[in-house]
């Protein structure tokens, strides 16, 4: 093949490649940030989270520092949060933090902090598992209450915080009871007493007092056991644990 023919062949291949590329080009790439944001919102209104996300991502990539770009980045995080699932919630938290780092003075700062806490709260582990996400959620809710004390998210943040703290308290109870059952009364006392001091709103305080009293009896701290049983009967008279108090301790 002579050089002229080879050049013509290469030109034809290049032209065909360009046409093929245009044919398969993602139509989202042709949209402006505003157009992409609008279409993403339309899909989001229909709860098509996965379909809307590429439009928001494109809008942010085209104009990352514009109002449309900032809103789009936040909506990327929202779609991941609303779609739910462990992996999506992890990504949602990361996107909210990205937004927080890029735009720390945003008018949406309180919302972003609230959503970071919620993304962590929705990933809290069962009380018998490690509580890393729960502790992070507590810190995130407390940050919101400290940094944005007048925001509209304060009341739901307090509710979320109490829910997570209840899970942490239940974890402490299970650990304390485990120590008691496996012959480690000193460790059990430390854990259960700490629970009662740290989590005054824990709904399982009645069973905690009962188990703590039992531990006191096992280590011959009869006065402390009597005080725990008396407290149980006084503070939780309707609790089923009251009926289990030994007759000699009533």
Mean pLDDT (10-residue bins), the chain, 250 residues: 46 47 67 91 95 94 93 97 94 97 95 98 80 92 97 97 94 94 94 96 96 95 95 95 86
Give pLDDT, residue 24: 52
Are 80 and 89 in contact by the 8 Å Cβ rule? The answer is: yes
User: Quick one: pLDDT at residue 29?
Assistant: 83
Distance, CA of 63 to CA of 34 (rounded, Å)? 9
With vertex at residue 235, the alpha carbon angle to CA 234 and CA 238, rounded to the nearest 5 degrees, is: 85
pLDDT score recorded for residue 155: 97
The reported pLDDT for the residue numbered 4 is 52
Q: What is the DSSP letter of 85?
A: S
Are 92 and 73 a contacting pair, CB within 8 Å? no
* Widest Cα–Cα separation across the chain: 110
pLDDT at residue 2 in the model: 52
């Amino acid at each position: 093949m002579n050089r002229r023919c080879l050049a013509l062949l290469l030109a034809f291949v290049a032209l065909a490649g360009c046409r093929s590329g245009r044919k398969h080009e993602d139509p989202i790439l042709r949209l402006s940030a505003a157009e992409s944001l609008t279409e993403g919102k339309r899909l989001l209104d229909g709860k098509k989270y996965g379909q809307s996300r590429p439009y928001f991502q494109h809008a942010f990539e085209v104009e990352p520092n514009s109002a449309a770009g900032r809103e789009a980045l936040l909506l990327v995080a929202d779609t991941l949060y609303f779609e739910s699932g462990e992996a999506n919630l992890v990504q949602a938290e990361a996107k909210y933090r990205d937004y927080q780092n890029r735009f720390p003075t945003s008018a949406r700062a309180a919302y972003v902090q609230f959503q970071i806490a919620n993304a962590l709260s929705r990933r809290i582990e069962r009380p018998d598992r490690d509580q890393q996400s729960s502790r992070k959620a507590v810190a995130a809710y407390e940050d919101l209450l400290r940094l944005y004390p007048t925001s509209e998210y304060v009341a739901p943040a307090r509710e979320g915080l109490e829910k997570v703290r209840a899970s942490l308290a239940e974890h402490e109870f299970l650990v304390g009871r485990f120590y008691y059952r496996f012959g480690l009364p000193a460790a059990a006392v430390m854990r259960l007493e700490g629970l009662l001091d740290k989590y005054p709103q824990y709904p399982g305080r009645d069973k905690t007092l009962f188990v703590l009293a039992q531990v006191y009896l096992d280590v011959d701290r009869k006065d402390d056991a009597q005080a725990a049983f008396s407290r149980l009967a006084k503070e939780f008279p309707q609790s089923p644990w009251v009926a289990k108090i030994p007759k000699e301790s009533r």
